[in-house]
Homo-oligomer: A and B are copies of this chain.
Amino acid sequence: MSSTQEGIGAAHASSRSAILDLIRAAGTVSRVELTRVSGLTGATVSTVVRRLIDDGLVVEVGRAESTGGKPRMLLELDPYARFAVGVHLDHAGITYVIANLGGSVVARWRRPGAGSDDPREVVARIAAEIRATVARTGVAPERILGLGVVSPGPIAASTGMTLTPPVMQAWTEFPLAAALEEAVGLPVLLDNDATAAAIGEYWSGGVPTGSAFAALYMGTGIGAGILVDGTVYRGTSSNAGEVGHICVALDGPVCWCGSAGCVEALAGPAAVVAQAREQGFELAGRGVSEDFAQIARAAARGEADAMALLERSAQYLAVAAQTLANVLDLAHVVLTGPSFAIAGSLYLPVIQERLSRSFFARGSHGVRVAISSHAPEAAALGAAALVLQAELAPRRRGTRMVLEPAEVVAPA
């Protein structure tokens, strides 16, 4: 094959992804507009669109009003042409979503978490859950592109998690992707919760292109997903963004990760709950998430002690956001994950204030902070978005993905 032919082959694949993504982003669009926006030739756009229509991904939805010449045929993505399943696996709960190609959630449900159960049992449970709900919703199994699974990081190529929170020790070195692929019968993509949430945020249209962006994720732990110009920053082993484990107090408390003075150990939901208990708060004690939610509700009602606890936590999260912004030169930070879903409105002003005052390159540009509109199920939706992104924008260059995930293809 000559280098020219190589160029044409790669160009076609990348044109297909680019056009698919442009149609998705535009909602409704004509071939002429696609030609103008994409910078591709009219002939290339026509060829690619024809194939997308043949594959059932794109439909013609009628003609635009004429502005003189022949009225233009309008194109839309058929959102129900393909689906993806997203699973957020955590010890406290397992959240599932089925999302369509347009990024809309067509099913969402939650079941008890992995707890201390044997990973093989949990995998069997997940497979049964997915099969049952796919059958119930009537989604054609051959239209499901794959399964995205997210869990707290770090993750490793051959296995799943290499360093797990204490409650999930049984998962260390468990071959999660392979086990799920066998049990569910779908290609599996793994990622950590924060990275998936960032992709989901980008996918759902909340993030402008052309800048560096982080999703600051707070579930029971704290992490961040990083996107630059729509591309995930992954680092050496796909474990970038571990901002919950940066040290913000040299003599701070020991963290489960083996370090000390980590943001998570000082200010994460478990730390807030422990501090509340020390101060004599009466907590229901049904787990960190529920107890944290109880404190957040008390703060929202204006109870001073609860407000002080969350204010202190927010100060540390603000330092984490400032660190991310200074290291990565961010323009946007989105607060997401279940704990920000509950308490984000108390954290947002503190984080925004610190960034406005202390972001190093504030002379060049500001850093905007917002709460995700998908904060409660950000990780599960992000897990599905991993799969959709692999279909719509697979050629987008990131820093290399060491995971070598199973290739996602539409089943025949």
Cβ of A15 under 8 Å from chain B: yes
Min CB distance, A298 to chain B, in Å?
Answer: 24
Given contacts A41-B2, A210-B400, contact A163 B360 (CB under 8 A): yes
Closest to A40 in B: B3
Contact between A328 and B246, CB atoms less than 8 A apart: no
Contact between B357 and A258, CB atoms less than 8 A apart: yes
Given contacts A8-B4, A247-B358, A322-B247, contact A236 B154 (CB under 8 A): no
Contact between A250 and B315, CB atoms less than 8 A apart: yes
Min CB distance, A245 to chain B, in Å?
Answer: 5
Min CB distance, A236 to chain B, in Å?
Answer: 4
Contact between A327 and B236, CB atoms less than 8 A apart: no
- Give complex CA distance A397, B228 in Å: 12
- Interface size band for A: 35 or more
Cβ of A44 under 8 Å from chain B: yes
Contact between B154 and A360, CB atoms less than 8 A apart: yes
Segment of A61-69, A183-191, A361-369 engaged in the interface with chain B: A361-369
Tell me which residues across on chain B come within 8 A of A236, comparing CB atoms. 211-212, 329-331, 364-365
Contact between B3 and A15, CB atoms less than 8 A apart: yes
Q: Could you tell me the dominant secondary structure of chain A's interface residues?
A: loop
Min CB distance, A13 to chain B, in Å?
Answer: 12
Tell me which residues across on chain B come within 8 A of A2, comparing CB atoms. 41, 43
Contact between B361 and A237, CB atoms less than 8 A apart: yes
Tell me which residues across on chain B come within 8 A of A329, comparing CB atoms. 234-242
Closest to A322 in B: B247
Contact between A327 and B247, CB atoms less than 8 A apart: no
A-B contact list, 5 entries, CB within 8 Å: A154-B364, A228-B399, A246-B326, A250-B315, A257-B360
- Residues of chain A whose beta carbon lies under 8 Å from any beta carbon of chain B: 2-4, 7-8, 11, 15, 40-41, 43-44, 153-154, 156, 162-163, 210-212, 224, 228-229, 233-243, 245-250, 257-260, 315-316, 319, 322-324, 326-331, 357-358, 360-365, 397, 399-400
- Which 9 A/B pairs are nearest by Cβ-Cβ distance? A235-B329, A162-B363, A239-B361, A259-B358, A240-B329, A7-B7, A237-B364, A242-B326, A242-B360
